[in-house]
Amino acid sequence: MKVDWESWNRRSLADDDIVRLILDGTVVKVRLDRKATNISLLVLLGVRRDGQKLLLAVKNMGGESEAAWRGVLDDLIARGLRTPELLLIDGGSGLEQALASLWPDVPTQRCTLYSVTKGQQAIRELTRAMLESTGNLPPLPAIFPDSLAPVVRNASDGERELSMMHWGMPGPLQLRGAPATNIRNTASPYWW
């Protein structure tokens, strides 16, 4: 099994037409030396142009620092990963710094979970939003299509602004225009 794992971690990515990357850090509880402990894993999924998802990497790098993310990303690039067209991230600062140094011009989309579980001060600090027009942001147990929720956008003066908007991508005609907020099925008509 170890040989298979090592081979998988060295495989070429040059022939995979990866257009989107989904990057996230997660903490899992494992048993090491008969002791339960938490380890931080960096997980990267690639999405091919045809919508197929591929697991690209699962690495224990000791945390989510910029250096840890760069280590994983540099390895994938050395194995043939090309610059993606879109990045989907959770918003960790180490990941953002690593991506900014590698692909500063690639559009990035953040996971909506952060805005559901954190308050407006945490959102402002994470996104460096200088302006705010949300008022007193109520707790949001979930974000549903066509409901008000916080977003960070560039204001007319170029400053980042935390504001409220109706969430949901307008739906494709074949789905009668039904809005959606979090489209995880990349083969769905919402992506094209």
SS3 state at 159 = coil
Amino acid at 50: D
Q: Identify the pLDDT of residue 187.
A: 60
Q: Token pair of 151, please?
A: 């977003």
Tell the residue number behind the tokens 């489209």, with chain if given: 183
DSSP state of 118: S
Highest mean pLDDT among 55-59, 126-130, 140-144: 55-59
**Which pLDDT score is estimated for 184?**
54
pLDDT digits (tens, 9 = 90+) for 68-125: 999 999 999 999 999 999 888 876 788 989 999 999 988 887 765 555 566 777 777 7
Task: Please give the Cα distance from 3 to 111 (Å, whole number).
Answer: 35
Q: How far is CA 24 from CA 40, 86, 92, 162, in A?
A: 10, 14, 8, 23
Confidence grade of residue 186 (pLDDT, cut at 50, 70, 90)? low
- Decide: helix, strand or coil at residue 17: coil
pLDDT for residue 174: 61
The per-residue pLDDT for range 2-48, each reduced to its tens digit, is 899 899 989 999 999 999 999 988 888 888 888 988 888 999 999 99
Residues 6+ apart with CB under 8 A from 48: 16, 17, 18, 19, 54
Compute the average pLDDT of residues 53-66. 91
Query: Mind listing the domains of the chain with CATH numbers?
Result: 1-111 (3.30.420), 112-192 (no CATH)
**CA contacts within 13 A on the Cβ side of 62:** 6
pLDDT of residue 40: 87
- Res 132 pLDDT > 90: no
pLDDT band at 144 (very low <50, low <70, confident <90, very high): low
In the block, tokens 């805005």 appear at: 115
Order of strands across the sheet that contains 18-32: 53-60, 35-48, 18-32, 86-89, 108-110
Of 65 and 178, which is predicted with more confidence? 65
Q: Which pLDDT value is given to residue 107? A: 82
Taking residues 142-157, report their average pLDDT. Answer: 74
